[in-house]
Amino acid sequence: KRRCEMAKVCVPLAKGFEEIEAVSLIDVMRRGGIEVVVAGVNEELVTGANGITIKADTDIKYVVADELDMVVLPGGWDGTHALAENPTVQSLLKEMNEKQKIVGAICAAPFALKTAGVLPEHYTCYPSVEEQIGNLEGYTDKEKVVIDGNVMTSRGPGTAICFGLAIVRKLVGEETYQSLREGLLADYC
């Protein structure tokens, strides 16, 4: 990726997504200079787990892997199951992984990475979701963000800002990451 090009990330939203995670990730990445495309899964107005509705920029069926640097999935059980069961989302995750592009998920959403066959050995997720995933040896609850190859995972709502910052660090660079971290008062990340 040339430094002068803006990184582009897709955040798919399905009904029942975790709002704190989605909004925090979208906000932090945009503050970091990343172009973020919010893609609705089956609907343009997507309602999250806590009744907050977000208007998608596009439909997931129009998202093209070659135009992206990353796809990152917010959690929320209902949203995660919808992402895990949606053939378009699953195909996009597989294609991104095959092209060695970055794939990310937070909270329950690493489950949708597992169903796509792209969850690496080392990961983190919301406590108890690792039981649904099944790879207990590779799971850790000691880190806010785990990076294994081209896959990034994070724990849940409380780690969403740190996850967004880790994505900025990976796609934009250390200087922007440090500046943004200071501006957000996120010295815990």
- The per-residue pLDDT for 5 is 77
Query: What one-character DSSP code corresponds to residue 108?
Result: T
pLDDT per position as a tens digit, 142-167: 999 999 999 999 999 999 999 999 99
Average pLDDT over residues 76-83: 97
**How far, in whole angstroms, is CA 117 from its chain's centroid?**
16
Picking from 69, 27, 31, 98, the residue whose alpha carbon sits closest to that of residue 171 is 69
Percent of the chain clearing pLDDT 70 (strictly above): 98
As a whole number of angstroms, the distance between CA 40 and CA 16 comes to 12
Q: Does 114 reside within a domain?
A: yes
* CATH number, domain containing residue 36: 3.40.50.880
- The per-residue pLDDT for 128 is 93
- The per-residue pLDDT for 11 is 98
pLDDT per position as a tens digit, 40-70: 999 999 999 999 999 999 999 999 999 999 9
Distance linking the first and last C-alpha atoms of the chain? 25
Q: Catalytic: which of 4, 10, 107, 189? A: 107
Q: Does 120 reside within a domain?
A: yes
Q: Does 15 reside within a domain?
A: yes
Query: What one-character DSSP code corresponds to residue 109?
Result: T
Q: Does 130 reside within a domain?
A: yes
As a whole number of angstroms, the distance between CA 106 and CA 152 comes to 8
- The per-residue pLDDT for 54 is 98
- The per-residue pLDDT for 1 is 44
Average pLDDT over residues 93-104: 98
Q: Does 188 reside within a domain?
A: no
Q: Does 1 reside within a domain?
A: no
As a whole number of angstroms, the distance between CA 19 and CA 25 comes to 10
- The per-residue pLDDT for 2 is 43
Band the pLDDT of 175: cuts 50, 70, 90: very high
Give kind and range of the element (H or E) at residue 153: strand 151-154
What pTM does this model have? Answer: 0.95
User: Using CA atoms in the order 85, 96, 70, 161, what is the torsion angle rounded to 10 degrees?
Assistant: 50
Q: Does 142 reside within a domain?
A: yes
Write out the residue range of the structural domain in which residue 26 sits.
8-183
Band the pLDDT of 188: cuts 50, 70, 90: very high
Decide: residue 104, CB within 10 A, 0-12 exposed, 13-18 middle, 19+ buried.
Answer: buried
- The per-residue pLDDT for 136 is 84
Average pLDDT over residues 129-153: 94
Q: Does 176 reside within a domain?
A: yes
Band the pLDDT of 4: cuts 50, 70, 90: low
The total of structural domains in the chain comes to: 1
As a whole number of angstroms, the distance between CA 32 and CA 155 comes to 21
Find all residues with CB under 8 Å of 82, minimum gap 6, and list them. 14, 15, 16, 41, 42
107 catalytic? Reply is: yes
Beta-bridged to residue 37, according to DSSP, are 10
